[in-house]
Amino acid sequence: MKYVKTKAVLNQAVADLSALSALIHQIHWYMRGANFLKLHPKMDTYMDEVNEQLDEISERLITIDGSPYSTLAEFAEHTKIKLEKADWTTPTEKRFEELVAAMRYMTSLYQEGLDASDEEGDDVTNGIFADGKGYFEKTIWMLQAELGLAPNIDA
């Protein structure tokens, strides 16, 4: 079988991007306070990017003869991003910290994908993971700046 490790990381990304999208939706829906008018639409931008990555990764997995997770049960069973029930008491800053943590996890997962696709000679998937990792690192920097912190990409 070809691309065994790469397919596994791609499918993990399917589950995790689905959970990440739900986390961003929570932040978007339960946001209040300072900078709401600026930050609320920014969450739409993040959701769009995550959903584009989800589609690209799922289609790449299919292209290399894989089968992406496609049910909420599969996403929940396989994701490593923890989702809690949202409420109105969690400040936006705390939710951004959760988002940064999830995006840090995604950069490490994408690094696994880079390593696997490099080892297995899948240059196309390697490019997808490289682009995605760059997006998440840049977004971490921006979220950290909003929180008044340095990017700490290697954290």
- Give all domains of the chain, ordered by start, each with its CATH number: 4-146 (1.20.1260.10)
Residues 71 and 152: their CA atoms lie apart, in Å, by 34
Range 69-75 average pLDDT: 97
Confidence of residue 155 (pLDDT cuts 50, 70, 90): low
Q: What is the pLDDT of residue 144?
A: 94
User: How large is the C-alpha radius of gyration of the chain?
Assistant: 16
Lowest-pLDDT range of 12-16, 24-28, 29-33, 149-153: 149-153
Residues 149 and 147: their CA atoms lie apart, in Å, by 6
Does the pLDDT at position 7 exceed 90?
Answer: yes
pTM of full prediction above 0.85? yes
Nearest Cα residue to 51 out of 77, 76, 25: 25
Range 129-140 average pLDDT: 98
Torsion of CA 61, 117, 115, 48, to 10 degrees: -40
Does the pLDDT at position 109 exceed 70?
Answer: yes
Range 105-131 average pLDDT: 98
Torsion of CA 77, 79, 82, 84, to 10 degrees: -50
